[in-house]
Amino acid sequence: MSSLMLPMTFDPALLASLITEVEQQEDDPRPDVLPRLVDELRTQIDRLLPYAELHRDQLLPLGEEWLACEAAIDQAKTAAEAAPGDGLLSLAGCSRTLARAAAELLRQLTGHCLSQTTSPDPREGLIRPVGTRFSATAPQRSARQRNVPLSPPSVFHA
């Protein structure tokens, strides 16, 4: 029996702090902070993807939860591969897209291994790390109960 070797671990607390930093940049984007956030979020997505793919492979193929997980994986890959345009607003938009994609990947994993570090966001159907501006205290629910969108919006809503 061979065991799957996952390349790296990820830190949900670090991801939560990055998402919080992105949210703080919405009001006053800083050109000295945004490039670092984009790089770190890409790194976190790269670390989350193998776990999300492993989780997806354990779900019923083409079932509701499988489709939601597959959509999150596709969204994260697309966000991580996209290059920001020129300018501060483009960089801010890229950081929001990456933060949303990373949060969605984390949400896919939360019901199974990280439920103490997150809570559902009733406004957007996402799981957010506790302590961020959009966190809530509702109990964990199944994907069907959450009405998980198959292709969530690519930017945060203020």
Q: Please, what is the Cα angle at 60 between 56 and 66, to 5 degrees?
A: 45
Per-residue confidence band for 109, with pLDDT thresholds at 50, 70 and 90: confident
Cα atoms in the Cβ-side hemisphere of radius 13 Å centred on 6:
13
Q: Which domain holds residue 73?
A: 12-146
**What total of structural domains would you count in the chain?**
1
pTM above 0.75, yes or no: no
Two structure tokens written together for 144:
């069907």
Whether 157 maps to a domain, the answer reads: no
Q: What SS3 state is found at 150?
A: coil
pLDDT at residue 144 tops 80: no
Confidence band for 5, pLDDT divided at 50, 70 and 90 = low
Residue 72 counted as domain residue:
yes
Q: Is residue 156 part of a domain?
A: no
Beta bridge partners of 118: 129
- N-to-C CA span, the chain: 49
Does residue 155 form part of some domain?
no
